[in-house]
Chains A and B, each alone.
Chain A
Amino acid sequence: MEQLRNLYFNSKPVFDIYLFEIKLHVKKFIIFSIVTILLLIINSFLPYILFPTYQMPSTQADFYQGVLSNYLLIIIAVCLFFSGIICSEFKDKTGIIVFPKINKYKLITGKYLGNLTLVIGIVSINYFISALFAYYIYGDPLLDKLLLSFGFTVFYILALSSVVSFFSSFTKSATLTTTFTLILLLFAIGIIDTFFMFAAPKIEPIYSLNYIRSIITYILRADFFTMQRYVDYQFEGTFIFRSWLTPTMQGALFVLSLYTIVFFLFGSLLFKRRQI
């Protein structure tokens, strides 16, 4: 009984903050969801309506590959919802009013879960509408693998939000956190990937979040478990470089979990040391 009471005492503030955070960002959520749906329409139906010669993808899997590969949307959503999660508490002193009473970890946990729910909500809408469109266009039963793809998207969001929260634990503002994240994902990892592609082409770039996320769409392919996971490019019989297409399910799960855990640990250590 005492343990239950303790559990309630400790989890109630987290739950209250979780609900508050969701209500606080609900407008952002609605706007983002509308943008997601619009982009989906532009990516699927619009070219078909505007250009009569445009051919719709021949299979559901190909259709999903087209509409679900908009990773920039996920990156922007994660940055928007998570970049200020820690640093804004220190910058705006919003947390100063609750820190003394509530353990600061409860505050951040509640905020994190609230924002995670919203981002997963946006992605869910994306998947749901995509599935509806696919059903309307192809009339086939929905692909079971769509759920697997959705699962990996959630894992990718977890890993990415962990990285963004880590940056937020030591930067001074949300803008700086977003800048760091975009530099890392759009430039730094890209440069490292290109380097390895030529310098050590046989090494699979499982360290790279950009490579790992490709499983979200590749897993929808019927031949995912049997396909060759890389393409070798040759010029006049000479090997030039190898382009890795997708990691294995196990590899992706392991790396995404590792990213989530390691960056959370580093982030919480820095957060623990940080003072107003």
Chain B
Amino acid sequence: MTKTVIKLENISKKYGTFLALDNINLEVQNGEVVGLIGPNGAGKTTTLKLIAKLLRPNSGKILLRNIRGELQDINKNSKEFVQTGFFIDIPQFYNATPYKLLKLFAKIKHYPKEKINQRIDELLTTFNLIDWKDKKVKTFSKGMLQKLGFIQAVIHDPEILFLDEPQTGLDPNARIDIRNYIRFLKQQGKTIFVASHLLYEISEVCDKVALINQGSIINFDTIDNLEKNLKSIELNFEVLNPIPREMLGSLIKRLTQNLEPYLDKELDPSISKIPIKYKPQENSFTIFYNGEKKARGDILNILFNDFKSDFTLISFSKPKISSLERIYSQIISDDDKKKIKINLMRE
């Protein structure tokens, strides 16, 4: 039995003369939550639509795990495949009630008949749509339709879930509901593939990230491994009381001296000109360090012991979102530069 549940082999897709996807290869393992991130028009939705068979690739093939645990071309007999759920774009549902729609989707996706009603109630309650169960979707807001779209993707309890921007445009509570539900599915060992612009959401739920730019996957790894390529990694620590202005200069000087072995020696000036910065509005410091795991413990020790009299440390963290943002912008901009260079050389 293969661990891979979905495999994209040399997939290319053209819209007229525009190459939307250029020879993409990607392999997702069972139980992984994979994020697909990239700028607008990079090819995220196209990738998902190809997997959903809503588009046909110009070349290459897509393999999906079947019930015998083997990989099988998605163009073959569909009853053999493990259950999949898709949320692509915001669906404009048929004008019926959520109950009727979800019942239809559950039925045609072969969910056990006797459990359908209970499942619908559970999901509508989770996503705060239970009061709208018997109202026609014509009266629903965009956010409600989006939540209903998410519910239809999971109604039949699929093994693999494909989500395209599931949280974009939702209010904070709905985003949290979806994030928590993705975490719940992750705990159950489901495989989830999420394409999103919301780096925070990706950083919160995904084990691995695939970066896509101009139709090519330029990196695919865990966030920790991608971080290793970062020119600099940051740490944040928050202090209880504001640091008086007259003390700030000497404090930063002492911090720089004491933390010197751990600081980023080749800090990119476009990121920061100094390795330690103070943010007065947040009572917090940012340290750009060498990224080594051991260094984080040592830095915490130094801050705690050597600066006891200067401030009271109330939080110490490595912001995941900030790392992912930096990974994203750094890798995408490097890739853009590389592609421009190649194009210039060709010309």
- The tally of residues in A whose CB lies under 8 Å from a CB in B reads 22
Q: Is A229 an interface residue (CB 8 A)?
A: no
Min CB–CB distance B101 → chain A (angstroms): 9
Report yes or no: B88 in contact with A101, Cβ–Cβ below 8 A.
no
Chain B residues with Cβ below 8 Å from A101 are: 78, 83-84, 86, 108-109, 156
Q: Which residue of A has the minimal Cβ distance to B81?
A: A101
Interface residue stretch chosen among A9-17, A147-155, A186-194, A245-253 = A9-17
Known: A101-B84, A101-B109. A93 touches B52 (CB 8 A): no
Q: Which residue of B has the minimal Cβ distance to A13?
A: B108
Known: A9-B79, A97-B152, A275-B54. A92 touches B108 (CB 8 A): no
Chain A residues with Cβ below 8 Å from B149 are: 97
Q: Is A202 an interface residue (CB 8 A)?
A: no
Q: Compute how far the CA of A101 lies from the CA of B85 in the bound complex, rounded to whole angstroms.
A: 8
Report yes or no: A24 in contact with B94, Cβ–Cβ below 8 A.
yes
Most buried by B among A9, A23, A101: A101
Q: Which residue of A has the minimal Cβ distance to B50?
A: A275
Chain B residues with Cβ below 8 Å from A99 are: 52-54
User: Which residues of B from 283 to 318 have beta carbons under 8 Å from A?
Assistant: none
* Interface 0/1 of B88-106, CB less than 8 Å to A: 1111111110001000110
Chain B residues with Cβ below 8 Å from A92 are: 92
A100 CB contact (under 8 Å) in B56, B84, B89: B84
Q: Summarize B's interface: helix, strand, loop or mixed.
A: loop
Report yes or no: B91 in contact with A20, Cβ–Cβ below 8 A.
no
Chain A residues with Cβ below 8 Å from B84 are: 100-101
Chain B residues with Cβ below 8 Å from A276 are: 49, 54-55
Give B contacts to A, CB under 8 Å: 49, 51-56, 78-79, 83-84, 86, 88-96, 100, 104-105, 107-110, 149, 152-153, 156, 162
Q: Which residue of B has the minimal Cβ distance to A102?
A: B108
B95 CB contact (under 8 Å) in A13, A17, A24, A275: A24
Q: Compute how far the CA of A101 lies from the CA of B49 in the bound complex, rounded to whole angstroms.
A: 13
Chain B residues with Cβ below 8 Å from A94 are: 91-94
Report yes or no: A96 in contact with B91, Cβ–Cβ below 8 A.
yes
B53 CB contact (under 8 Å) in A12, A20, A100: A100
Q: Compute how far the CA of A9 lies from the CA of B78 in the bound complex, rounded to whole angstroms.
A: 11
Q: Compute how far the CA of A99 lies from the CA of B55 in the bound complex, rounded to whole angstroms.
A: 11
Report yes or no: B55 in contact with A275, Cβ–Cβ below 8 A.
yes
Q: Which residue of A has the minimal Cβ distance to B152?
A: A97
Query: Would you mind naming 14 contact pairs between A and B with Cβ atoms under 8 Å apart?
Result: A9-B110, A12-B110, A20-B100, A94-B93, A96-B86, A96-B88, A97-B91, A97-B149, A97-B152, A97-B153, A101-B84, A101-B86, A103-B78, A276-B54
Q: Is A222 an interface residue (CB 8 A)?
A: no
* Interface 0/1 of A122-161, CB less than 8 Å to B: 0000000000000000000000000000000000000000
